[in-house]
Amino acid sequence: MAQTYLQNTREQTAALKALKKRRWGGAALYLFIFPWVFGFIVFTLGPLLFSLIISFFDWPIVGKVTFIGLDNYVEMFTDDPMFWKSLFVTLKFAVLFVPLNIVVALGLAMLLNQKVRGSAIFRTAFYLPSVISGVALAMIWSWVYSGDYGILNYFLSIFGIQGPDWLNDTKWSLVAMVVASLWGQGSMMLIFLAGLKGIPRDLYESASIDGAGKIRQFFSVTIPMITPTILFNLITSIIAAFQQLTLALLLTGGGPLKSTYFYAMYMYENAFKYFKMGYSAANAWFMFLIVLTLTFLVFKSSEAWVFYEGEMKKNPQKKLKARKGGQTP
């Protein structure tokens, strides 16, 4: 009894000493993370909350600020055709861009995963566009797409095709934007490449012993093994699609006829062309909610199609069936 008591007090004093020590250590810890925390509060959390507040105000830069409650949100949903129009353009863009983006990035990663000489050079070359700033990228593409002098139409003319004026034709402008946006996807490609490299070789070996061809291997080994990577890239793609502003602003200015007038651009113009800060903040929060919802849905659905290593399928019956299905060609 006495011994345990003694032990307890000993432990307590030891703990106290450690605490005293830690107090200093703790201070150092906070000191080290202070720059980040400070930056986060001042430049991220603060503006974030402030933007929520101003979304309830009529907030012109020049003139009087007035509280108007939910009026900005009401106007947005009921009285502003441009809101719906730009949202629709962004959705159209996302539907085209997201799947293409993943297919292209995965395709490039597959090519780079081949063991050929000089793959490092290709890797660098494909990654290069991601290093270039969006503005420079837009300049390059405006030159590529130019109707009379663009290289794209020059190549088409070699095959006797008269190309359209890509950026001034409502039928092609959005497609042109999608293609231009696909170009800077080096980071996504690298993530896929890392995912591909992480697949153990023996899986392919045993698959080929089982008689699976290259295509079969791709769908039964490669794809299931990289589903976590696909999930990550899918989410970042969706976010990137909703964020697209630089190219729209610089390449088309939202035109022709608002065919590339993205939601982000609508928001930007409300803020910096029409100086309706409150309204624009309301736009921004709505976009935040959309992205939040989409991300949530994707995460929710991921339970059904994303497999992590070492994870068993929830329904062994299904797995068995899949195997059987796999064996009958």
Partner 1 sequence: MKKRISLIVLATTMMVSVLSACGGKDGSTGTASQESGGTNQKTLRFATWDTGDALKIEQDIAKKFESDHPGTKVQVEAYADGFDQKLAAGFGAANPPDVMYMWDFPTYHQSLEPLDSFADKDKDLNIDDFYKGLFNYGKIDGKLYGIPAGFTTRVVYYNKKLFDAAGIPYPKDGWTWSEFQEISQKLTDKSKKQYGFGARAENDTYDLQGFVWSNGSSFISPDGKTIEGYMNSKETAESIQMFGDMVKNGSAVLTGGKGQQSGDDIFKAGKIAMWESGIWPLESFKQAGIDVGTVEIPAFTGKPVKGVLAESALSIAKDSKQKDLAWEFVKYYVSNESIKMRVADLPVRQSVVNELKKDQDPLYKPYYTMLERSDNTPAFLLNPKWNEVNRQLSAAVEAVMHGGNAQEVLNQAVKDSERYLK
Q: How many residues bind partner 1 (CB under 8 A)?
A: 53
Task: Supply the minimum distance, in Å, between the C-beta of residue 228 and partner 1.
Answer: 14
According to the binding rule CB under 8 A, does residue 153 interact with partner 1? no
Angle CA(3)–CA(9)–CA(15) in degrees, nearest 5?
A: 135
Task: Supply the minimum distance, in Å, between the C-beta of residue 197 and partner 1.
Answer: 23
Rg (CA), the chain: 27
Q: CA-to-CA distance for 184 and 179, rounded, in angstroms? A: 10
According to the binding rule CB under 8 A, does residue 291 interact with partner 1? yes
According to the binding rule CB under 8 A, does residue 67 interact with partner 1? no
Task: Supply the minimum distance, in Å, between the C-beta of residue 262 and partner 1.
Answer: 12
Task: Supply the minimum distance, in Å, between the C-beta of residue 304 and partner 1.
Answer: 21
Among 274, 305, 314, 321, binds partner 1 (CB under 8 A): 274
Neighbours of 184 (CB within 10 A): 20
Neighbours of 59 (CB within 10 A): 23
Among 113, 146, 208, 246, binds partner 1 (CB under 8 A): 146
Among 81, 211, 310, 329, binds partner 1 (CB under 8 A): 81
Which of 21/273 has CB closer to partner 1?
273
Among 292, 297, 320, 322, binds partner 1 (CB under 8 A): 292
Q: CA-to-CA distance for 154 and 145, rounded, in angstroms? A: 10
Which of 212/265 has CB closer to partner 1?
265
Q: CA-to-CA distance for 141 and 93, rounded, in angstroms? A: 17
Q: CA-to-CA distance for 178 and 96, rounded, in angstroms? A: 7
Residues forming a β-bridge with 58 = 66
Q: Cβ(306)–Cβ(231) under 8 Å? A: yes
According to the binding rule CB under 8 A, does residue 134 interact with partner 1? no
Using alpha carbons, list the distances in angstroms from residue 198 to 33, 52, 223, 284. Answer: 33, 42, 12, 38
According to the binding rule CB under 8 A, does residue 51 interact with partner 1? yes
According to the binding rule CB under 8 A, does residue 61 interact with partner 1? yes
Tell me how far apart the terminal alpha carbons of the chain are, to the nearest angstrom: 75
Task: Supply the minimum distance, in Å, between the C-beta of residue 163 and partner 1.
Answer: 12
Q: CA-to-CA distance for 161 and 22, rounded, in angstroms? A: 74
242: left (phi over 0), alpha (psi -120 to 50) or beta: alpha
Q: CA-to-CA distance for 165 and 274, rounded, in angstroms? A: 30
Secondary structure (3-state) at 59:
coil
Q: CA-to-CA distance for 146 and 165, rounded, in angstroms? A: 6
Among 48, 95, 151, 161, binds partner 1 (CB under 8 A): 48
Q: CA-to-CA distance for 103 and 97, rounded, in angstroms? A: 10
Task: Supply the minimum distance, in Å, between the C-beta of residue 16 and partner 1.
Answer: 40
Task: Supply the minimum distance, in Å, between the C-beta of residue 48 and partner 1.
Answer: 5
Structure tokens that stand for 99 in this block: 């799947």
According to the binding rule CB under 8 A, does residue 142 interact with partner 1? yes
According to the binding rule CB under 8 A, does residue 256 interact with partner 1? yes
Among 113, 119, 168, 187, binds partner 1 (CB under 8 A): 168
Which of 97/166 has CB closer to partner 1?
166
Encoded one letter per residue, x for contact with partner 1 by CB under 8 A and - for no contact, window 82-111 reads x-----------------------------
Chain contacts with partner 1 (rule: CB under 8 A):
43-44, 47-48, 50-51, 61-63, 79, 81-82, 142-143, 145-147, 150, 165-168, 170, 235-236, 239, 242-243, 251-253, 255-258, 264, 267-268, 271-275, 277, 280-281, 284-285, 287-288, 291-292, 295
